[in-house]
Structure 1
Amino acid sequence: MRRTASRTTAVAVALTALAGLALAGAPSAAAEDRASFNLTVGATYFKGTIEFYNRSVTVNGVLRGLSTGCRRGAAWAFDSAGSPLDNRSTTAVCDGAVSKTIPLTADVPGGAAEVEVDLLEGNGHRIASCHVQRGFEYCE
């Protein structure tokens, strides 16, 4: 009986530790709105999700470039008056599909009202883009 109690205690401690690790890895704030995007040109693309937070935006996606055509992803955050808040771009991808994250600051009350996502050539020339307003679910 004593051996069973020890095992039960050990299992309970292990499960509690795992639960604590799972909670520790959770983001501190949930996205208020989420939209998906898909920019495809030929065999290259930038597709993923846009997550709107109170004072920021995160663009997570997969960017595919080819050895014959490098690609970059870019994103812009705008306030409700259409003024730019922040913009950033990824490094070039020239061979395959790579996960990319673009964090944007939107440090105004309510955060960004709109986001533009761009698929760029390696030299920065825009070849596709889409705009999504907060509350909408998709841009293509």
Structure 2
Amino acid sequence: MRRQTAAAVAAVSMLAGTIGLTPAAQAAYPTKSFDITYGATYARGKVTFYNRSVHVSGVERAVPSSGCRFVEVWTYNASGDLDFQAEVGGTCNGVVDFNVDVAADAPGGASYVVVKFWYRDSSWNNQRVLTSAKVLRP
């Protein structure tokens, strides 16, 4: 009898794991896409808004004739004040993935995010913002 009970408990545990009975892990958070294109280069991805942070993931592309590219993410609270910023990615040739978590330490998290697409020369001495996208919390 003990053997059958242990087997039944194991079977139920395995079933619960396979059908995903973990409500916290299944919570949906608001997500918004962005697409920044500058000539033949781009940064594309999505922003996921959490209660005290944002997660930004995507891809960026650079071509050798256009210099290096990188992405910077800035979070803003409901008053429009800058909370935090983070630099991510960076390529001088090709397509690279990027992922970054940025704090948004305000009640309810960030109201919006600004994703900036930067240029740097290959010596990394000269740099400037090429363009940016404001991503509003849905």
Same fold flag (TM > 0.5): yes
Matched ranges for 1:1-140 at <5 A? 16=14, 20=17, 28=25, 30-68=27-65, 69-122=67-120, 123=124, 124-135=127-138
Runs of 4+ in structure 1 displaced over 3 angstroms? 19-23, 27-31
TM-score by length of 1: 0.74
1:95: how far off?
1.2
1:99–1:31 Cα change, 3 Å = farther
1:21–1:73 Cα change, 3 Å = farther
Letter of the aligned partner of 2:41 in structure 1? T
Judging by fraction of residues, say which structure has more strand.
2
Identity of aligned residues (%): 35
Q: What number of residue pairs does the alignment pair up?
A: 122
Contact 1:56-1:105 within 8 A present in 2 as well = yes
1:28: how far off?
4.2
Letter of the aligned partner of 2:97 in structure 1? S
Unmatched tracts of structure 1, length 5 or more: 1-8, 136-140
Letter of the aligned partner of 1:134 in structure 2? R
Contact 1:31-1:53 within 8 A present in 2 as well = no
1:58–1:72 Cα change, 3 Å = same
Separation (CA, whole Å) in 2 of partners of 1:54 and 1:115: 14
Contact 2:111-2:137 within 8 A present in 1 as well = yes
Contact 2:58-2:98 within 8 A present in 1 as well = yes
Aligned residues: CA RMSD: 2.8
Unmatched tracts of structure 2, length 5 or more: 1-6
1:32: how far off?
2.3
Letter of the aligned partner of 1:88 in structure 2? A
Contact 1:57-1:103 within 8 A present in 2 as well = yes
- Match of 1:80, SS state, is coil
TM-score by length of 2: 0.75
1:101: how far off?
1.1
